[in-house]
Structure 1
């Protein structure tokens, strides 16, 4: 018997509907249930072939549990290792590389220094930064948001540099990004399940939360069909590159071009009271089918995680030793290393009784370019003194 588990928190409608839908399909030797955790021992396998993760982004204990489960064979959706590393600013950069339009975006240092750091920790950061170039590149109005956040938390609309500085004071240690505003004629939110099934939902982010899905596309006819085709293509590209099997992507449409605004939502809202009955039905059915498929594919004891093309391509193109290169000498083991005692040519004389105290060593100094350039070469150096 293979178990499909779902790990969740406050939400009620989707987890229960998901469990019922999987079990209603009558797949032999497959059953779904809510995950139960009573003990987490290192490298110990769980009883689940598949776990749908809906909450670990808020509970570090759950995230550690899922990683431990994954290395022992559980197919965790979404991949907890990649999800831990991913963030929105990187997503924007990746989207640009794979040909998906995104707003102009820059990264901003945090207003407050991280705990345990000082001014010296930031000696590599130019002061002041090239703010005029940054503002000219992004333009105003713009949006300032956490580079790795979600759920519309700590998102600010800023209308000029003074407004940005004023609101930046509230962000504490958050690393923010400043993003071009896209004045849109249409806005959509797309579910992507299993990197193949896409549901495009008209969405109005300016409405109250419970009315955001009460919207219709303004584009019509051939323009509408072309727009929907492009949005589906971009949605699949993004999720296949990132490796997410359960995600949403938001697009703002300007001058007929869909710009990806938000596409790092690996535990997206699926509540029937916010997405609506029709969208809810689609998500439950697609998620159940995907989980059953992954359970059938799962091989106990092996890693059954999904990795995106970004990671796969990076591994395939990683530099490796060429056949023509000589094999490096093996590093000797501890037993093979002979350590010779070396007696110094001149012994260090201890300070005489009643004499001066030994001089303390000066604090180490950071080498400068001037010091490095003017330092005389060693006697056996091939370089000549100038």
Structure 2
């Protein structure tokens, strides 16, 4: 008997529906259940052929457990080793290398030095940095966000250099990136499952959370069809390059060009109350089919992880600038019809529009609205308390009154440094 397990946190609707869907298919020798962990011994195999990971981004213990399971043969979705190494700034760099449009983006050093470091630790960092060139490249308005974050945490819209420096004061030890703002005509969010199935969903990030999928594309006719095909192609290329089997990609469309905005979401929101019933049904079915397929091909004792073409090409000495091989496109997926809001809209405390929200943090509506049972592991862990996810609200600043040559996020090299101050 091969077990398919799902590892999850606060979410309720997707895990239960996924388990029931897999089991309803009656595949010989395959069952699905909520993962139960009673001990983790080094190099010991887990009891699962496949594990769908929905929570390890928030629980380091789970991430380590999944890596241990993977080296003994469990097919973990998504690959915990790559997920640990990946981050949004790298995502953008890779997208540019494989020819997918992304906003202009730069990396910023943290406002505060990391623990156990001194000025000497930063002797290679120029003071001041080339702020004029940075601002000229990105432009304003822009977004400042963590280079490896998610869930719309610590995201700021900045309108000028003074604004950026004021808000950067609040970011502590976070390494931030400054990203061009794309004023979009259309916006979509795409599920990509198994690196072959793509669902393109019109999405309006400026709407309240429960109404973001109640949207439609402005593009029509031939323009719409061409745009959808391009978006599907870009979605597949990104996930094949990164090696994700369960991910979402968001595109902001400006002047007919889809810019990849957010595509590092290996535990994407799949709650029925936010994505809507039709989209939820598609995700549950596609995820169940993928998990069953992976269980059938899983070989005990061997590594059964998915590695992206970026890693495979690196191992074989192929430059990153070489685009990944062409992937057979999935059957055309029509943009879903407008999704009606739930009968009892979910209130959200978000202060800013949220393009995405990581799995495990969505608010649930009343259980009477949809017949979905809550699934819990056999031995549930004690609560570790709430996880703060809200962005910091910052008032809009006045016009800048200081020169852009001022360095705000860096310190001068140490006195014993051989580097000259610029």
**TM band (smaller chain):** 0.7 to 0.9
In structure 1, the residue matched to 2:201 is: 201
Deviations 1:25-80 (A, max 9, x none): 00000000000000000000000000000000000000000000000000000000
In structure 1, the residue matched to 2:217 is: 217
The alignment's C-alpha RMSD in Å is 1.3
Deviations 1:251-270 (A, max 9, x none): 00000000000000000000
Please state how far the C-alpha of 1:211 moved relative to its aligned partner: 1.1
In structure 1, the residue matched to 2:264 is: 264
Equivalent residue runs for 1:337-376 within 5 Å: none
**Contact 2:120/2:417 (8 A) holds in 1:** no
Q: TM-score of the superposition, structure 1-length normalised?
A: 0.83
In structure 2, the residue matched to 1:134 is: 134
Using the alignment, how far apart are the partners of 1:213 and 1:142 within structure 2? 25
Query: Number of residues paired by the alignment?
Result: 324
Equivalent residue runs for 1:206-245 within 5 Å: 206-245=206-245
Q: Which moved more, 1:203-212 or 1:95-104?
A: 203-212
Change (3 A) 1:216 1:38: same
Using the alignment, how far apart are the partners of 1:153 and 1:30 within structure 2? 38
Using the alignment, how far apart are the partners of 2:418 and 2:34 within structure 1? 60
Q: Give the unaligned 5+ runs of structure 1.
A: 320-364, 370-386
Q: Specify which structure has the bigger relative contact order, considering alpha-carbon pairs within 8 angstroms and separated by 6 or more residues.
A: 2
Q: Which moved more, 1:250-259 or 1:199-208?
A: 199-208
In structure 1, the residue matched to 2:275 is: 275
**Contact 2:123/2:417 (8 A) holds in 1:** no
Q: Which runs of 4+ in 1 moved over 2 A?
A: 365-369
Using the alignment, how far apart are the partners of 2:418 and 2:56 within structure 1? 46
Please state how far the C-alpha of 1:318 moved relative to its aligned partner: 7.1
In structure 1, the residue matched to 2:31 is: 31
Equivalent residue runs for 1:58-77 within 5 Å: 58-77=58-77
In structure 2, the residue matched to 1:324 is: none
In structure 2, the residue matched to 1:383 is: none
Please state how far the C-alpha of 1:317 moved relative to its aligned partner: 1.2
Using the alignment, how far apart are the partners of 1:366 and 1:107 within structure 2? 26
In structure 1, the residue matched to 2:392 is: none
Using the alignment, how far apart are the partners of 2:264 and 2:90 within structure 1? 10
Larger Rg: 1
Q: Secondary structure at the match of 1:303?
A: coil
Using the alignment, how far apart are the partners of 2:418 and 2:151 within structure 1? 46
Using the alignment, how far apart are the partners of 2:317 and 2:122 within structure 1? 33
Q: Which moved more, 1:309-318 or 1:58-67?
A: 309-318
In structure 2, the residue matched to 1:22 is: 22
In structure 2, the residue matched to 1:316 is: 316
